[in-house]
Amino acid sequence: MEKASKAGEKQAKKQRNANIVQAGKATQFKKRDPKTGEIDPRINTKGRPRKFDALREMVLDVLTEELELTNRAAGTSQKITQLEFMIREWVLSRDFNKQSKALEYGFGKVPDEIKHHFDEDEFIKRHIDKFTDGELQRVQQGENGMDILLSKLETQLTRKKS
């Protein structure tokens, strides 16, 4: 009875590329030969752009390409750019982040923090009738008017509770 042969035994062993490994050391890529134009086949000549400006140009080329959208039911077609298609997809998406980005590009970013300006002197002038003479003297001596009002509020709240 014969043994079942293994698939690996029938296949020829692959030879290591002499250009890649010689005596355990990796070799460099071959430079382009200016006479023959021959290049190393391992070099990715159409890979990522070397500079950011080239990347920006490539992205803008892709975004300005035109698409033709056809509505088979209505029998109409419409040409739009990739960018317009992408924005429409963001607006119609169920993903809030995409919708938010579309709104930000359209109407501007909503500020993250609310800036306010509180003028204590103006506040005291507007509400001077609520201060007693003693509290006004405390303000005149340099005590914070808001602290005085807060303490007054606390005492009124404790009176209402009791």
Confidence of residue 12 (pLDDT cuts 50, 70, 90): low
Give domain status of residue 78, yes or no: yes
Backbone angles phi, psi at 76, to 5 degrees: -120, 160
pTM of the model: 0.39
Distance CA 92, CA 105 (A): 15
Contact at 8 Å (CB) between 127 and 152?
A: no
pLDDT at 46: 66
One domain, residues 69 and 102: yes
Task: Examine the pLDDT at 8 and tell me if it is beyond 70.
Answer: no
Give domain status of residue 152, yes or no: yes
Give domain status of residue 81, yes or no: yes
Domains: count for the chain: 2
Give domain status of residue 15, yes or no: no
pLDDT at 15: 55
pLDDT in tens, 63-77: 899 988 888 888 888
pLDDT at 81: 92
Task: Examine the pLDDT at 60 and tell me if it is beyond 60.
Answer: yes
| Domain assignment of residue 72, given as a range | 52-107
